């Protein structure tokens, strides 16, 4: 990494120096060549199956350098509590699976078309293992418009294969339909447009039309009707949620309100969700079922979230470039406690999901360049772009330290929810002690371990009910 996040005090990062940081976890399949005067990191994970008896277990890690051996003893205390099999927290990291982009990192895709789907399934299986249970599906890109009897008919074959691939991998408890509108040229303040399939001169064409063009609304309604019928036929409708527009703001708000209503009319009963801002016109967002505000922007808007939930809505949260400073985030140079506590935000503030845009937005050198250039001299904070790394040798991905710790945090959330069934007051008090506010939380790992032990004690009592 080349720089720390701006607007972040030096005591909020692991160290002041830039350069190499440990993050990707390479499987220990062969000997490690140790260089003089260079620190190498080893990550050891211990898994306790559900049937493991409670108690203290001891082990040892041995590092053999030939002439010298280093032995490190450790012990693991296993509690009777188990992480519930049915996960309650919704977790989505968006993955970018454009074939051309993927082929840069998986060269064999160029000569083996079926390998693409194998890579996607392997990535899905890894992410499911790390508690992701929502799959982002770019439905408007995957659904192919065809001309049939002078009208537009959609072929959903690629949508089906996408969902079936991640279903098989165990990562599709929720199907997250991609955005239906965008901005001309992709600029944040560019005009609001609707990708529209049209019949012109007997041929199918796709154009980005202005939101007030009646052809855009007509085609969108037709697409949604066909999509709904198809999802119902496949038995997926009850798992489906639909994005409308990403981060609506400013003059977009009345347009956004209109198109959310259109989607709700054509997909009755299907929740809508979007990354929204509670600093914008809240009335324009009331019909959106699942609010996903950015962490660090709604500290003073908890009453609005409570009111939305009272009307039958839900609220998740997301992180993207921000927040920085004292807030939690998953940047590589942030202490891992900031990653571990992300799901504690969900429990502490009653937010039922977590969204991040950067599952695998890799640069051409994904292990060396972790800060994509966004143009104009603006680079992303290190680690904002991805939580895994390409592993073409095994047609999958390498996980990161941050993903390992995020999984632990998700398990904390599930244990908190389990504990709250038995002792709601004690569980809430524990969560408040760990995280009094969004920027005031336990930073000392030793103190957090004490809180973790208390959580396991509470969850064990709930387990014995």
Q: What confidence tens digit (pLDDT) does each residue in 161-183 have?
A: 999 999 999 999 999 999 999 99
How far is Cα 84 from Cα 414, in angstroms, rounded to an integer?
Answer: 7
Average of per-residue pLDDT across 19-34? 87
Does residue 329 carry a pLDDT above 80?
yes
Check whether 462 has a pLDDT greater than 90: no
pLDDT of residue 279: 93
Distance (Å, whole) CA 373 – CA 367: 15
Beta bridge partners of 144: 155
Question: What pLDDT shows up at residue 17?
Answer: 87
Among 174, 196, 447, CA closest to 337: 447
Whether the per-residue pLDDT at 36 is higher than 90: the answer is no
User: Whole-number mean pLDDT of the chain?
Assistant: 95
Please report the pLDDT score of residue 41 as a whole number.
84
Q: Which of these, 252, 146, 150, lies nearest to 194 by C-alpha position?
A: 252
CA separation (Å) from 56 to 52, 251, 454?
11, 60, 17
- Averaged pLDDT for residues 5-16: 89
Lowest mean pLDDT among 54-68, 77-91, 220-234: 54-68
465 has pLDDT over 80: no
Q: What is the pLDDT of residue 30?
A: 76
CA proximity to 45, closest of 410, 389, 400, 383: 400
pLDDT tier for residue 16 given thresholds of 50, 70 and 90? confident
pLDDT at 249: 97
SS3 call for 173: coil
CA-based nearest residue to 217, from 276, 258, 156: 258
Q: Between residues 465 and 428, which one has the greater pLDDT?
A: 428
Beta bridge partners of 292: 275
Structure confidence at residue 375 (pLDDT): 79
Report the share of the chain in percent with pLDDT over 90.
86
Instruction: Sort strands 182-183 and 144-148 into parallel, antiparallel or unpaired.
Output: unpaired
Q: How does residue 197 score in pLDDT terms, banded at 50, 70 and 90?
A: very high
Confidence band of 267 (pLDDT split at 50, 70, 90): very high
CATH says 10-17+19-24+80-463 is which class? alpha beta
pLDDT of the residue at 28: 86
Mean pLDDT of 139-146: 98
At 311 the pLDDT is 96
- Return the pLDDT at 29: 79
Q: How far apart are CA 465 and CA 150, in angstroms?
A: 64
Q: Which residues of 56-77 are buried (b: 16+ CB within 10 A; e: fewer)?
A: eeeeeeeeeeeeeeeeeeeeee
Q: Residue 144's pLDDT is what?
A: 98
Closest CA to 23 of 361, 324, 384: 384
Q: What is the mean pLDDT of residues 198-203?
A: 92
Q: Which of 50-59, 63-72, 141-150, 302-311 has the lowest mean pLDDT?
A: 63-72
Taking the domains of the chain in order of start, what are their residue ranges? Answer: 10-17+19-24+80-463
Token digits of residue 115: 């390998």
* Residue 77, strand partner residues: 56
Q: Place 1 in a pLDDT band, splitting at 50, 70 and 90.
A: confident
* pLDDT for 191: 96
131 pLDDT exceeds 80?
Answer: yes
User: Model confidence over 280-305: pLDDT tens digits?
Assistant: 999 999 999 999 999 999 999 999 99
């Amino acid at each position: 990494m080349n720089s720390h996040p701006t607007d972040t005090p030096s005591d909020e990062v692991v160290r002041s120096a830039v350069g190499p940081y440990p993050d990707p976890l390479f499987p220990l399949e062969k000997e490690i060549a140790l260089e003089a005067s260079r620190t190498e990191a080893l990550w050891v994970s211990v898994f306790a199956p559900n049937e493991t008896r409670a108690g203290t277990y001891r082990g040892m890690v041995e590092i053999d350098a030939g002439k010298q051996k280093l032995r490190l003893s450790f012990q693991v205390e296993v509690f009777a509590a188990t992480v519930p099999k049915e996960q309650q927290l919704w977790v989505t990291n968006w993955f970018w699976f454009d074939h051309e982009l993927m082929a840069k990192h998986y060269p064999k895709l160029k000569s083996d078309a079926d390998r693409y789907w194998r890579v996607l399934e392997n990535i899905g299986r890894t992410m499911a293992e790390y508690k992701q249970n929502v799959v982002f599906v770019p439905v408007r890109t995957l659904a192919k418009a065809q001309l049939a009897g002078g009208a537009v008919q959609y072929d959903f074959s690629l949508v089906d294969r996408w969902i079936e691939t991640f279903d098989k991998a165990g990562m599709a408890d929720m199907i997250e339909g991609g955005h239906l509108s965008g901005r001309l040229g992709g600029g944040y303040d560019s005009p609001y447009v609707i990708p529209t399939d049209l019949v012109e001169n007997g041929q199918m064409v796709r154009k980005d039309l202005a939101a007030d063009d009646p052809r855009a609304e007509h085609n969108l309604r037709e697409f949604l009707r066909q999509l709904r019928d198809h999802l119902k036929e496949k038995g997926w409708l009850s798992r489906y949620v639909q994005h409308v527009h990403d981060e609506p703001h400013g003059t977009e708000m009345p347009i956004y309100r209109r198109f959310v209503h259109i989607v709700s009319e054509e997909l009755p009963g299907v929740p809508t969700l979007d990354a929204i801002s509670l600093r914008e016109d809240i009335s324009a967002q009331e019909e959106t079922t699942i609010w996903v505000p950015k962490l660090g922007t709604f500290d003073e808007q908890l009453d609005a979230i409570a009111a939305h939930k009272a009307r039958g809505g839900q609220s998740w949260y997301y992180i993207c470039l921000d927040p920085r400073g004292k807030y939690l985030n998953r940047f590589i140079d942030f202490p891992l406690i900031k990653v571990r506590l992300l799901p504690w935000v969900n429990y502490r503030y009653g937010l039922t999901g977590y969204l991040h845009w950067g599952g695998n937005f890799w640069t051409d050198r994904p292990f060396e360049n972790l800060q994509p250039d966004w143009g104009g001299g603006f680079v992303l904070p290190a680690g904002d772009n991805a939580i895994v790394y390409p592993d073409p040798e095994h047609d999958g991905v390498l996980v990161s330290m941050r993903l390992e710790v995020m999984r632990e945090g998700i398990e904390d959330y599930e244990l908190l929810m389990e504990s709250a069934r038995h002792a709601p007051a004690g569980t809430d008090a524990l969560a408040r002690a760990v995280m009094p506010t969004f920027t005031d939380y336990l930073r000392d790992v030793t103190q957090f371990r004490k809180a973790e032990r208390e959580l396991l004690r509470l969850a064990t009592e709930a387990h014995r009910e």
